[in-house]
Amino acid sequence: MKFIHMADMHFDIPFTVLNNRNKLGEKRRLEQREAFKKVINYIKENNIEYLFIAGDLYEHEYIRKTTIDYINNLFKEIPNTKIFISPGNHDPNVNNSYYKIYDWNDNVHIFDNKIKIIEEANCDIYGFGFNDFYCRTSEIEEIQIKNINKINILITHGTLNGGTIEDMEYNPLNKNNLKKLRFDYIALGHIHKLDYNTEANQRIVYPGSTISMGFDELGKHGVILGEVTKENIKLNFLPIDNKEFKEIEIDISEITSKEELIEKINELELDENIYYKLILIGNKNFEINTYEIIKYITKDNIIKIKNNTKLKIDVNKIAMDNNLKGIFVKEVLDEINNNNNQKEKLEKVLELGLEILK
């Protein structure tokens, strides 16, 4: 059997960071639509039998009916493809969910919080979906496969081998326990990082988010194309997102003014299909206010600027001076040593104080 496995589309998410730059959030939402349409067209052109959507198809808080209509109309274009959706923590199957109140196309099956089996001619599809924004237990690890001779698929949204208290809130699952269930493929969602073919004969897979949500999701994004028999499994990653988020460093040690820095940034040769975060490094020769600098950047795809530069002066040497400046620096350095989690803020205090005490 051939399938597409996708997850974490997050339709109508606000993209707050992008909206800070010429309302690029709306453009990104259009790119979501383009990416989803690309998936549907691939299914159509290659006669893919199944589409597995492992949760967070949309944002419950922000989703518009027009977007649901758009999704469902695309589902109508692939009537011979059977579509299985396991709602996640961002699109739970709650009472006012579009999963309950909307008239979905006939080829769409939506799972709820009771484990169900959909029996096909050559395979059995098991599914579990969230019915709330949190899911602390699902009984998935207790599943007894009904017919081991068929191809058995599990679709769900959850956290695999999570180690934090927060992980325990989103359908915590143990990888070794899942392997013991003997599913031929387990289609997971929730983790936005791609995880496939990282071990031999891998059958428990995260496709990652279909499009990148921001700078914490660098690199290519897309879906998994799978082909499974009882004997073999073949998985390929299909890049879907036309855009990519990327970080680049700029050493400003030789730059002597804000104006020179702005000129250098505006002269960068950048790929228009990439959203950039610039990280300023090196020893600075002038006061840097990233919020002020970005106002004068002419390239719209530069989204963020982060200041990781250091003061050029030797603050440890100044701290040894028996004057007001030395006392101030010593006090702040002591605070930094005692409150490392506040290091960035305290370094800013140090910088501003030294500017005032010149």
pLDDT in tens, 116-173: 999 999 999 999 999 999 999 999 999 999 999 999 999 999 999 988 999 999 999 9
Which pLDDT band holds residue 26 (cuts at 50, 70, 90)? confident
What is the mean predicted confidence (pLDDT) over 166-181? Answer: 95
> Greater confidence, 41 or 326?
41
Q: Domain map of the chain by residue range?
A: 2-239, 244-356
* CB 31, CB 242: distance < 8 Å: yes
β-strands 50-53, 116-119 pairing: unpaired
Let me know the angle formed at the C-alpha of 140 by 197 and 235, rounded to the nearest 5 degrees.
Answer: 20
Q: Which residues contact 123 (CB under 8 A, 6 or more apart)?
A: 1, 150, 151, 152, 153
Mean pLDDT (the chain, rounded)? 92
Q: What is the pLDDT of residue 306?
A: 93
- Predicted local distance difference test score (pLDDT) of residue 293: 93
If you average pLDDT over residues 323-336, what whole number do you get? Answer: 87
Q: To the nearest 5 percent, what fractions of the chain are helix, strand and coil?
A: 30, 25, 45
Q: Shortest CA distance to 12 belongs to which of 108, 91, 79, 77?
A: 91
Contacts of 260 (CB under 8 A, 6+ apart): none
Which residue type sits at 225?
Answer: L
Beta bridge partners of 5: 52, 224
pLDDT of residue 336: 84
Please say whether the beta carbons of 209 and 8 come within 8 A. Answer: yes
**pLDDT (0 to 100) of residue 247:** 96
Q: How confident is the model at residue 240 (pLDDT cuts 50, 70, 90)?
A: very high
97-121 burial string, b = 16+ CB within 10 Å, else e? Answer: bbbeeeebeeebbbbbbebeeeeee
Q: What is the pLDDT of residue 61?
A: 96
Q: What is the rounded radius of gyration, in angstroms, for the C-alpha atoms of the chain? A: 25
CATH classification code of 2-239: 3.60.21.10
Instruction: Give the per-residue pLDDT at 109.
Output: 98
| Confidence band of 340 (pLDDT split at 50, 70, 90) | confident
Mean pLDDT, residues 254-276: 94
> What is the reported pTM?
0.86
Could you tell me the sign of the dihedral formed by the alpha carbons of 206, 212, 218, 223, in that order? Answer: positive
Of the candidates 154, 240, 141, 235, the one whose C-alpha atom is nearest the C-alpha of residue 197 is 235
Q: How far apart are the C-alpha atoms of 223 and 5, rounded to whole Å?
A: 6
Diameter over CA atoms, the chain:
85
Q: What is the pLDDT of residue 82?
A: 98
In whole angstroms, what is the distance from residue 239 CA to residue 235 CA? 13
Mention every residue, 6+ apart, whose C-beta is less than 8 A from residue 283. 253, 309, 310, 311, 312
Mean pLDDT for 270-291 is 91
User: Mind giving me the DSSP string for 110-177?
Assistant: E--SS-EEEE-SSEEEEE---SSS-BS---GGG---S-TTSEEEEEEE-EES--STTGGGB-EE-HHH
Choice among 120-129, 157-166, 293-302, 331-340 with the minimum mean pLDDT: 331-340
| pLDDT tens per residue across span 83-98 | 999 999 999 999 999 9
Task: Quote the pLDDT of residue 344.
Answer: 72
Instruction: Please give the structure tokens belonging to residue 354.
Output: 């030294």
Q: Above 80 in pLDDT, residue 347?
A: no
Give the pLDDT of residue 342. Answer: 78
Judged against a pLDDT cut of 80, whether residue 58 lies above it is answered with: yes
Residue among 109, 111, 65 nearest 87 (CA): 111
Report the C-alpha gap between 12 and 36 in whole angstroms. 13
What pLDDT does residue 246 have?
A: 94
Tell me which residue of 231, 146, 152, 141 sits closest to 187, measured CA to CA. 152
Task: Confirm if 191 and 55 have CB atoms less than 8 A apart.
Answer: no
Q: For residue 328, what are its two tokens?
A: 């101030």
Q: What pLDDT is recorded for position 83?
A: 98
Spell out the long-range contacts of 172-181 with Cβ–Cβ below 8 A and sequence spacing 24 or more. Answer: 172/136, 173/138, 173/140, 173/141, 174/141, 175/204, 177/141, 178/140, 178/141, 178/154, 178/204, 179/203, 179/204, 181/141, 181/143, 181/145, 181/154
Q: Give the whole-angstrom CA distance, residue 226 versus residue 2.
A: 6
